[in-house]
Chains A and B, each alone.
Chain A
Amino acid sequence: MGLALLGAVSQGILWGIMVLGVFITYKLLDIADLTVDGSFALGGCVCAVLVVGGVNPLLAILAAMIAGMIAGAVTGFLHTVFEIPAILAGILTQIGLWSINLRIMGKSNTPLLKNDTVFSQVTDLTGLSSNIGSIIVGLIVAVAIIAALYWFFGTEIGSACRATGNNEAMVRALGVNTKVTKMIALMLSNGLVGLSGGLICESQKYADIGMGTGAIVIGLAAIVIGEVLGRLTPGKLRAFGSRLTAAVVGSVVYFLIRAVVLQLGMDANDMKLLSAIIVALALCIPVVWEKYQLKRSYTRAARPEGGR
């Protein structure tokens, strides 16, 4: 059990980088970008093929990130230039990527059993266990990315990207081309998703054509869990840096829940159903709660002045 939980933490952190990508589109741009399932697998496939081909594993992960950015650019292009609704543009890219990923690997699965990865390099160097090694690598990457995102979204360009998700008409009236800001956000988001795919590929030592399936739901689940946890903490965690951190923590909690449920004997294939239920519930509860509150606050009698 302990080992399983440790494994879940390391997975949670590495997937947490994907969650940060989903956070950019879902929370800041207000788009559910379905490219993610494809670009995550793309990152994994590109990374696996390069590592097998003898490329430095760190460079392979950077290549995975760039591949993800290109996938995001395709979705952005379809959405901004041709005005295809974002959700449909994402689905088109995702479906196309399935074939592209198969082309890249030439088969549906690429194992890295004999190859060095960034994780094996770290464990060889320090003598740490593989789980601890990947937790450390994951934490370094996650902290660096949170810091970078915090900086970027505080800049002039980053502020314009955030405002685009809020009020597009205003952003245009203030002289910013929202096609450009959407493109930047989609590329940045999918770049992180590809990076995460590359990291997962190296940590699990294989890439699989189906590794991205349901990634968007995991991302949304993690964001929702992170938000709930954030609300439960005394400071309410409204600051931008804390919201990013909460997303990664949400991812870790998600994988912990998953590990526990699997340990309790649940079929691994049912996990996607559980994820879907978690997200659906998280989206339903606030709506139901609000309606309940409205109903409950109704009284037939007149209220005293200013009373509730």
Chain B
Amino acid sequence: MLKVQNVCKTFNAGTINEKRALVNVDLHLAPGDFVTVIGGNGAGKSTLMNMIAGVYPIDSGVIELDGKDISLLSEPARAKYLGRVFQDPMMGTAADMQIIENLAMAKRRGKTRTLAWGVTKAEKDEYAERLRELGLGLEKRLTSKVGLLSGGQRQALTLLMATLTEPKLLLLDEHTAALDPKTAAKVLELTEKIVGEHQLTTLMVTHNMNDAIRLGNRLIMMHEGRIIYDVKGDEKRALTVSDLLQKFEEVSGGELANDRMLLS
């Protein structure tokens, strides 16, 4: 489904702040793969997501999605194939617009916008039904401004928006990191449910090693712009947090865990 081949990205090349964010990254995802991505700060996890989404152009390499070379497509052009949820709950929704307006915009992801009505009556029932599945009572607040929702509600809404039109690839960039533990668990539960129901190919960055082990069928670990560990199937199911820490020390000669990872 997704083929990342030999992708490199360096920020501020040639300056004192030069940062080699991705170094010859190779990653192939089969359809239906649910891959969790872990790594320390500055490992290149978010850069990998942003390169796939086309936020910045890559320096070299090829990114293919479903057999189509998307390496040079602009961010809006790639949006057709991608569902995205960001770390910041504010980033995925338009605060001054209604819940239903946000959903209607998401429904039209990848389609050419016309002068037809932005929200049609027929859509309303569909959205109410999908919101009901979230179990947050949002179906009764279709015309509320999104700015009135809590961070967790906004993140759940963003997740629904990202999958309303089924994406070829779902990109989750630490989408529960800014939430309190209880809300994070709820959003993660919804993630599992939605990904499972639609068999979505998913790439999920997380700083929580337990989540990374528990969710998905494959786990990759990144360090200094490289994928240093890639495990799937039974081997992944048997992993423990201490295995991961040890693995990291082996490969990198340093310690993986920052405080944030150990505490969560």
Measured CB to CB, the residues of A under 8 A from B are 152, 154-160, 162-163, 166-167, 169-178
Return A8 CB to nearest CB of chain B, in Å. 33
- With the chains together, A152 CA to B82 CA distance in Å? 28
Asked if residues A173 and B117 are in contact (CB atoms below 8 Å), the reply is no
**Residues of the B chain whose Cβ atoms lie less than 8 Å from the Cβ of A171:** 94, 105
Given A159-B105, A173-B84, A175-B110, A154 and B117 touching (CB < 8 A)? yes
Asked if residues A176 and B76 are in contact (CB atoms below 8 Å), the reply is yes
Return A28 CB to nearest CB of chain B, in Å. 9
Does any Cβ of A come within 8 Å of B20's Cβ?
no
3 A-B pairs closest in CB distance: A175-B79, A159-B118, A166-B94
**Residues of the B chain whose Cβ atoms lie less than 8 Å from the Cβ of A160:** 105, 113
- With the chains together, A167 CA to B158 CA distance in Å? 13
- With the chains together, A175 CA to B93 CA distance in Å? 14
Asked if residues A176 and B97 are in contact (CB atoms below 8 Å), the reply is no
Given A170-B93, A170-B94, A175 and B109 touching (CB < 8 A)? yes
**Residues of the A chain whose Cβ atoms lie less than 8 Å from the Cβ of B118:** 154-156, 158-159
Does any Cβ of A come within 8 Å of B17's Cβ?
no
Does any Cβ of A come within 8 Å of B95's Cβ?
yes
**Residues of the A chain whose Cβ atoms lie less than 8 Å from the Cβ of B97:** 159, 162-163, 166
Asked if residues B105 and A163 are in contact (CB atoms below 8 Å), the reply is yes
- With the chains together, A294 CA to B62 CA distance in Å? 54
- With the chains together, A172 CA to B50 CA distance in Å? 12
Given A154-B117, A155-B114, A155-B116, A174 and B79 touching (CB < 8 A)? yes
Asked if residues B95 and A166 are in contact (CB atoms below 8 Å), the reply is yes
A163-B94, A163-B101, A175-B80 known, 6 other contacts, Cβ within 8 Å: A154-B119, A159-B119, A166-B94, A174-B79, A174-B105, A175-B111
**0/1 string, B88-117, CB within 8 A of A gives 1:** 001111111100010011101111011111
Return B116 CB to nearest CB of chain A, in Å. 6
- With the chains together, A32 CA to B190 CA distance in Å? 41
Asked if residues B79 and A173 are in contact (CB atoms below 8 Å), the reply is yes
- With the chains together, A169 CA to B53 CA distance in Å? 12
Chain A contact surface mostly = helix
**Residues of the B chain whose Cβ atoms lie less than 8 Å from the Cβ of A167:** 90-91, 93-95
- With the chains together, A174 CA to B79 CA distance in Å? 6
Q: Which residue of B lies closest to A179 (CB)?
A: B76
Asked if residues B91 and A172 are in contact (CB atoms below 8 Å), the reply is no
Most chain-A Cβ atoms within 10 A of its Cβ — which of B53, B79, B114, B161? B79
Asked if residues B94 and A156 are in contact (CB atoms below 8 Å), the reply is no
Return B78 CB to nearest CB of chain A, in Å. 8
- With the chains together, A156 CA to B95 CA distance in Å? 17
A–B complex contacts, Cβ < 8 Å, 11 sampled:
A152-B115, A154-B117, A156-B118, A157-B114, A159-B97, A163-B101, A169-B91, A172-B75, A172-B79, A175-B108, A176-B113
Most chain-A Cβ atoms within 10 A of its Cβ — which of B53, B105, B109, B110? B105
**Residues of the A chain whose Cβ atoms lie less than 8 Å from the Cβ of B108:** 156, 174-175
Asked if residues A155 and B75 are in contact (CB atoms below 8 Å), the reply is no
- With the chains together, A169 CA to B86 CA distance in Å? 10
Q: Which residue of B lies closest to A174 (CB)?
A: B109
B115 touches which of A156, A162, A163 (Cβ 8 Å): A156
Does any Cβ of A come within 8 Å of B210's Cβ?
no
Q: Which residue of A lies closest to B96 (CB)?
A: A166
Most chain-B Cβ atoms within 10 A of its Cβ — which of A155, A159, A171? A159
Does any Cβ of A come within 8 Å of B74's Cβ?
yes
Given A174-B109, A175-B109, A157 and B79 touching (CB < 8 A)? no
Asked if residues A156 and B117 are in contact (CB atoms below 8 Å), the reply is yes
**Residues of the A chain whose Cβ atoms lie less than 8 Å from the Cβ of B161:** 174
**Residues of the B chain whose Cβ atoms lie less than 8 Å from the Cβ of A163:** 94, 97, 101, 105
Q: Which residue of B lies closest to A155 (CB)?
A: B115
